[in-house]
Structure 1
Amino acid sequence: MLGESPLLLPPMLLWALLLILGLASRQASTAKKAVVRLSPPWTTIFKGEEVTLTCHGSSSSKAGTTWWYKNQQLQEMWSTNSIETKQGGEYRCETQDSALSDPVNLVVSSDRLILQTPYSVFEGETLVLRCRGRDEFRTVRNVTYYKDGSVSSYFLRLSDFSIPRVTLSYSGNYHCTGVVLIYAIIFLEKFSSRKVELQVQELFPPPELKTTTSQPTEGTPVTLSCETQLPPQRSDTKLHFSFFKDGRVIASGWKESQIFQIPAIWREDSGSYWCEAKAMSQNIQKQSNHVKISVKRIPISGILMETQPPGGQVTEGEKLVFICSVAQGTGNITFSWHREGMKASLGEKTQHSLEEKFVLSAVKESDAGKYYCTASNGINTISSLRVNVTMKSTPWRHSGSSSRPPE
């Protein structure tokens, strides 16, 4: 049982305890908050009733020391995580692996009628309200529940009032009234409970979409992160995530991972991105901010045209290959091959590639001349130096014959 006053310690022991607490506080500054849970779950009880408070740390199954505070004063340092009390006040706890919990305000009442509400309720959950009469006023009839002065529900007999899947709009001031049969005689009197301010809490805030960069270069990886946080009291809630671009989903279905990776991003991937987080069991779904991603394209540079055979010397009837390459440049690159003095190109190819080939399968004497290639990716267009293609002499031309030797 929790004592009526703070635990008194000898000065030396108190000093040692303060040092321990100081170290624990520094360690807890980066730890998750502990959570206090009540059994029964109500924050208002009648005088003489008892409540069990349990402190849940980051590792509830792990044995260790639990510090309990009442009205901001250290009360007990226990090796167990549960205490029992009949006293009202503000209770907090912390453990070796968890930071100081949020406060739980326990109200002990001597009123004839009370409204009992849970310590915490989150959007998407069922809210249960309980109107109760004191022992000698157990027989309560015509029970009415109110929110902000307006009737929410009415029961002929004493009954809990359950509201499934509450939203933030259900926050407000609640109370109840009931007609009580006094001292088992035929004498009825109507009583009203005190008002209780109830705050329906947000299960998780709208997520924030973060990116490794909003102006990536083509071909580089980009990571999208859909970030939100559950409260300590609902840390076991399962969230799923989905990612979108320009109004369409880019990751099919709901995923447990809040990370979406694009291994290589391209110019056409530019657009407006956002994500959504969803608590599946509570059916709570929230959308993030929009992030504009503009993919940068690297201009083309360092163009070079080579031939096979090397040097552009080829024998009539042989194959001639023009190899056009660039040192850098991103996106779809269009390569085209040209002969000096001709308006039309010999051919062109568009690929995610820094090198492409164009082949003349069997050259003729008339194919001799100067050739070059160009490359374009929509940012810039550059041309290579000219390569002179010449025909090597054949034996039958040196013999002076006007016709080729027989095949």
Structure 2
Amino acid sequence: MHTRPALELVIAGQELVLICSVDGVPGPVRIFWYKKSNKKPMKAKIQNSLNEEFKITMVKKRDAGEYYCEANNGRLSFRSKSVTINVKVPVSPPGLTLSPPGDRAPEGDEVTLQCKAQRGSLPIQYQFFREDVFLKEIEVTSLRTSSFSFSLTAEHSGNYYCTADNGLGAQRSRAVHLSVITPVSPPVLTLSPPGPWAVEGDLMTLHCVAQKGSPPIQYQFYHGDVTLGSSSIPSGVGASFSFSLTSEHSGNYHCTADNGFGSKHSEAVSLSVTVPVSCPVLTLRAPGAQAVVGDVVELHCEAQRGSPPIQCWFYRNDVTLESNSSLSGGGSSFNLSLTEEHSGNYSCEANNGLGVRRSDAVSLRVTGLPGLRLWWGTWWSFTVRPGEALPQSGTSFIMRMSPWGAAWPPLEEEHSSTSP
């Protein structure tokens, strides 16, 4: 017995013809075909020709095995030699899977490519490719699957596929895309204009950028623990957030960056918002309603708004008298012991480094001479210089009267007074 095709290796799906040739046996002859694993004949046929065929129109894997035929003319029986048929199944298109699954993986992770053909006779040769660049070849003899692992870098992004071949034609898998994501580095926060100090009303811009990290990157800005704003950036240029400064914006600022593989924080940046001084108000504080020679007058200069420290200057007729610094607000004061020369216009200036502001002028008139101060009232009241004797009871004296009080010694009008 022989086969057509002549090879004993048969590919699944082909037609297989078993041919039983009978020579020298008087006929008619009865032909039986057997598969060695079966006791019953597969087919029996009476024929007078020298050759008889048995066809398997589409060979399957289960058709593999040993076959033989037997000729019988009723008196004699003849058995052919066995023919071994090996059915080899071509590989099916393999499937490629990634482990861990997904089309995004962080740089530094280990990824495993697994290529598996559901059908196909062993051995199978597997090959792995990235963007048509050969990576690895593995032959398997016991399983229809093969794996290949490696540690990811940014250069490993791309399309991957594998092929399977058992000598009957290579089959290719579908491509699988993998994006290797570089996790963000800790971002850097900068202020524009730069520096730890800024003036109320200025426009401040916060800029946050991570030097490493695959886009898109989500940036968020914080004042203390309060979120100011967020922005998703498709490229690696960083994000900015602008606002107009008020005194409440002093404090620590930071930002975060996140591209889906862990949020990173910037270092904190401190900002002090300085408020320029408002026009100060000058106040004169005298012992009485009218300043006279010898009084001590307090000059108090205070700006209602302005970040300390505030430097104050005091002026009389535009001549500098004194300067003081206030470290915590509340204004500055200056004491002045009055003489007649201290009459004039007083003003003050305030400055905290952001510009000088000047108060309105306050006029001061110093009257009288040192010694006697007189007020109208129920009793006459006198002021006597040290070392001078008090008037005796019933003493008569003359005083020069003025709208602002009286002076000692008496000069013009005569009045009698009795000491109480």
Fold shared, TM-score > 0.5 on shorter chain: no
Task: Report the structure number with the largest CA radius of gyration.
Answer: 2
More strand by share: 2
TM-score class normalised by the smaller sequence: 0.3 to 0.5
TM normalised by structure 1 equals: 0.44
More helix by share: 1
